[in-house]
């Protein structure tokens, strides 16, 4: 008998090799190549678009895609205004964070606009029914299908002709044209490709639930994220009830928008005013606590930065940052040591963003420096003051984007002082009752905030 040919596929990037390699030459990851059967060449009956002649770019007529509202405002915001017909949306997150709960709630709302098919490949229909009753799902246009075979799923789609489709999850779906196990690189890539052709050909909005690895990335090859139109990540601390839905990729909207949810017994409840939620338990007269207005897409959010600077009992001081880039924190500590002349480099430093939020923009630099200095000097920052600004290596405070939105949000929540870059004061009108203090250097900001 002829020996079957095998290939070795990288679980990180999808690279294929005829022999095993310890290191993937494409993504430079070690021990990621696994043995699989090669994908058989299949002749798909439908293409993404009808064949035609090349057209001039100036002659192509453009129009705004009609979006379908999910009925969940935070999800619509993250998607850029709603679901685009024919789009393929990948939702990832840690186990138990609420992916299936959110999609079941969204499908219940979408089923009021048309027929929805929820394919559950990990649970039985009865288990999904029990969760749906707890979430208050009650619609006649929602159909459940407990199936793992892609061929059977496509046959049921052809019979039912749904307006919306949910696959939970893509790692458990398999096609009989490939002999490898479900969840392998070949299976995930082939199943996603066929579902993409189905979605584009029929204009069927499709949601895919994706498992994540221990590093937090979508399981399977990176090509999976390139095939879909939108990638949404669920973030959240297991110790907090708050969940943040962040768009990592979106062909039909901004990738900076986020949606904020709170996990309750009845499911995920959208939080329309996250600033009040994150500041609800803030200690107002404690050293090391600072409020920073961060901008997530078009939404300003006020969050609390907490710092703790203490004497180190080890030869190498500890550096712990939760919700912030630890390398950025090390840079700010060096600026405080060299340019502000605060001797904290040899001490243990802990920095935390309260509420489980992750901040990536440089506008929180000034707030982080103020929190570290407050804890080190044991001085309380004025509880009615907010700070924002990027801090350079020489200690200068640089302007950031959209300062008017940050100041307006702080004024709405009752803050009366704002320390911001001097260059951001141009063409900026202070709201009623708000004092704007422009600073050029980090040392000037520290002189203005302590009470």
Residue list, annotated binding site: 93-100
335-to-304, 392, 434 alpha-carbon distances in Å: 21, 8, 29
DSSP-derived secondary structure letter, 3: P
Burial string for 216-249 (b: 16+ CB within 10 Å, else e) reads eebbbbbebbebbbbbbbbbbbeeebbbbbbbee
Q: Which residues are annotated as a binding site for ATP?
A: 93-100
> CA nearest 140: which of 115, 161, 107?
115
Give residue for tokens 């705004």: 64
Burial string for 272-309 (b: 16+ CB within 10 Å, else e) reads eebbebbbeebeeeebbbbbbbbbbbebbbbbbbbbbb
CA atoms within a 13 Å half-sphere pointing along the CA-CB vector of 437: 16
165-to-102, 110, 181, 199, 276 alpha-carbon distances in Å: 14, 10, 24, 9, 35
67 near 81, Cβ under 8 Å? yes
9 near 15, Cβ under 8 Å? yes
Give how far the C-alpha of residue 164 lies from the chain's centroid of Cα atoms, to the nearest Å.
23
Question: At 285, is the secondary structure helix, strand, or coil?
Answer: coil
């Amino acid at each position: 008998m002829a020996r079957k040919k095998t290939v070795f596929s990288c679980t990180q990037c999808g690279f294929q090799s005829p022999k095993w390699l310890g290191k993937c030459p494409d993504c430079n990851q070690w021990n990621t190549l696994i043995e699989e059967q090669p994908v058989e060449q299949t002749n798909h009956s439908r293409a993404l678009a009808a064949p035609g002649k090349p057209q001039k770019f100036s002659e192509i007529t453009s129009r705004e895609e009609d979006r379908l509202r999910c009925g969940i405002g935070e999800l619509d915001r993250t998607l850029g205004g709603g679901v685009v017909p024919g789009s393929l949306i990948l939702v990832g997150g840690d186990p138990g964070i609420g992916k299936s709960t959110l999609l079941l709630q969204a499908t219940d709302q979408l089923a009021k606009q048309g027929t929805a098919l929820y394919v559950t490949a990990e649970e039985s229909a009865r288990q999904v029914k029990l969760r749906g009753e707890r979430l208050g799902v009650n619609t006649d246009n929602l159909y459940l299908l407990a199936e793992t075979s892609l061929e059977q799923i496509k046959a049921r789609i052809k019979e039912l002709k749904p307006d919306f489709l949910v696959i939970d999850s893509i790692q458990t779906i398999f096609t009989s044209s490939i002999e490898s196990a479900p969840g392998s690189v070949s299976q995930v890539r082939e199943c996603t490709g066929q579902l993409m052709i189905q979605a584009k050909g029929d204009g069927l909005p499709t949601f895919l639930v994706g498992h994540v690895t221990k590093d937090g990335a979508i399981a399977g090859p990176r090509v999976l994220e390139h095939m879909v139109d939108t990638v949404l990540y669920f973030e959240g601390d297991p110790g907090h009830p708050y969940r943040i839905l962040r768009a990592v990729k979106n062909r039909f909207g901004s990738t900076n928008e986020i949606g904020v949810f709170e996990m309750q017994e009845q499911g995920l409840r959208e939080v329309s005013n996250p600033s009040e939620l994150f500041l609800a338990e803030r200690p107002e007269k404690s050293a090391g606590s600072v409020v920073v207005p961060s901008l997530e897409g078009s939404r300003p959010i006020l969050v609390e930065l907490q710092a703790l600077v203490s004497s180190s009992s080890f030869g190498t001081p500890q550096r712990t940052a939760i919700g912030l880039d630890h390398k950025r924190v090390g840079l700010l500590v060096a600026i405080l040591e060299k340019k502000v002349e605060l001797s904290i480099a040899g001490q243990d430093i802990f920095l935390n963003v309260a509420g489980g939020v992750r901040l990536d923009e440089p506008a929180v630099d000034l707030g982080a420096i103020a929190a570290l200095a407050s804890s080190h000097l044991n001085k309380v920052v004025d509880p009615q003051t907010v700070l924002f600004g990027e801090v350079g290596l020489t200690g200068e405070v640089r302007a950031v984007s959209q300062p008017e939105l940050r100041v307006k949000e702080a004024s709405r929540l009752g803050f009366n002082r704002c320390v911001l870059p001097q260059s951001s004061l141009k063409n900026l009108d202070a709201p009623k009752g708000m004092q704007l203090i422009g600073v050029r250097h980090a040392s000037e900001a520290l002189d203005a905030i302590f009470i």
